[in-house]
Amino acid sequence: MTNFLKNKKILLIITGGIACYKSLDLIRRLQDKGADINCILTESAKEFVNTITFESLLGKKIFSNLFTLSHEKEMNHIKLATEVDVILVIPCTANFIAKMANGIADDLATNILIASKKIKIIAPAMNSNMWTNNAVKKNLSTLNKMNVNVFSPQRGRLACGSKGSGKLMEIHEIIENLNDIFCPKELNKRKILVTAGASIEKIDPVRYISNYSSGIQGYEIAKSLSLHGAEVILVTGSTNLEKPRNIKIIDASSAKDFYEKVSGELPFDVFISAAAISDWRIEKFSQNKIKKNNNEKLKLGFLRNIDVLKKISNNKLRPKLVIGFSAETSNLITNSKKKLTEKNCDWIVANNVGIEEVFGSNYNKVSLITKTKTNHWPKMKKSDVAKKISKEIVNFFKKNRLIS
């Protein structure tokens, strides 16, 4: 992983959650990356950790009291708010989330957050019931609209002894995500369209044909490309995923709808067809619910669907780079290479969905196939697959010296 954190000025705000001791490991790792760190402990955080421990690790004073004269002379809260590259709240409690969302400024930390226009990130950690509480969800939605980055907690054993969502994101993952935020905007001015999720082909008013696609891989690709500075459009089918920020979202349902939404955005520089779009549609949609009556069998006629990937690949406004996805249960490479040729793609991302669980999983094992080579990547998180694809796209534009 390329280090983009060197010499970055980072302000850590430590709030009073049981996970706040983990911030010591975060500080150590950020120091190893060459980051310049200042730290604020809220009053509640002091109930969990010792100020001296943080000062010993930092080699400098931590900040806490808005009205301490010596601190104001040394570095007032406006200076703390403006002379940093990023502000990270770790762990971020439900109470602190509520304060941020509602503009409360009753201590040094909240005053700085309101006074700062810098990048803001929170890494929540709390009991799973609190994390799923509607008030917390509402406040997180507000922060999302305020462009606050959320490093979502994970599932695991919590401090209360129960298992569920709410565990602080692992420190190495916080480092990776923070590093990604500072990656160079090498795809600036590039317009990239990504499709994701499952299509829906209606049978009657209450039934439809779909598939198991969760949309995770497509969403991760869209988010990664956005971090690289691209103007990203995400045409998404049915998913249960939170919509990414700073990305144009367009909802789609059937294959026909996908094609109309995608083609309506042409021209763009890159097309990534990660959505699982049905090859078939119902020949005749029933306006009324199909009743079972006394029938033991139901016969439905199917027609070939519009091929979105092939249509865009052969469009007169064809993107500079067209990337398809191939989900196979056998003969992965052979079938994927055939798809590459038939669909007139530049690259195919191929994965075998018959061997291990892929749909709905956070992990994937893929091969990147081009017209000249096949690269087999190891099993990794879908977010890491997205990063590797983004890097390949950056290299493509560098190698071909393409200009907008």
SS3 per-residue string spanning the chain: CCCCCCCCEEEEEECCCHHHHHHHHHHHHHHHCCCEEEEEECCCHHHCCCHHHHHHHHCCCCECCCCCHHHHHHCCHHHHHHCCCEEEEEEECHHHHHHHHCCCCCCHHHHHHHHCCCEEEEEECCCHHHHCCHHHHHHHHHHHHCCCEECCCEEEECCCCCEEEEECCCHHHHHHHHHHHCCCCCCCCCEEEEEECECCEEEECCEEECCCCCCHHHHHHHHHHHHCCCEEEEEECECCCCCCCCCEEEECCCHHHHHHHHHCCCCCCEEEECCECCCEEECCCCCCCCCCCCCCCCCCCEEECCCHHHHHHCCCCCCCEEEEEEEECCCHHHHHHHHHHHCCCCEEEEEECCCCCCCCCCEECCEEEECCCEEECCCEEHHHHHHHHHHHHHHHHHHHCCCC
The answer to whether the CB of 63 falls within 8 A of the CB of 75 is yes
d(CA 38, CA 267): 45
- Residue numbers annotated as active site: 160
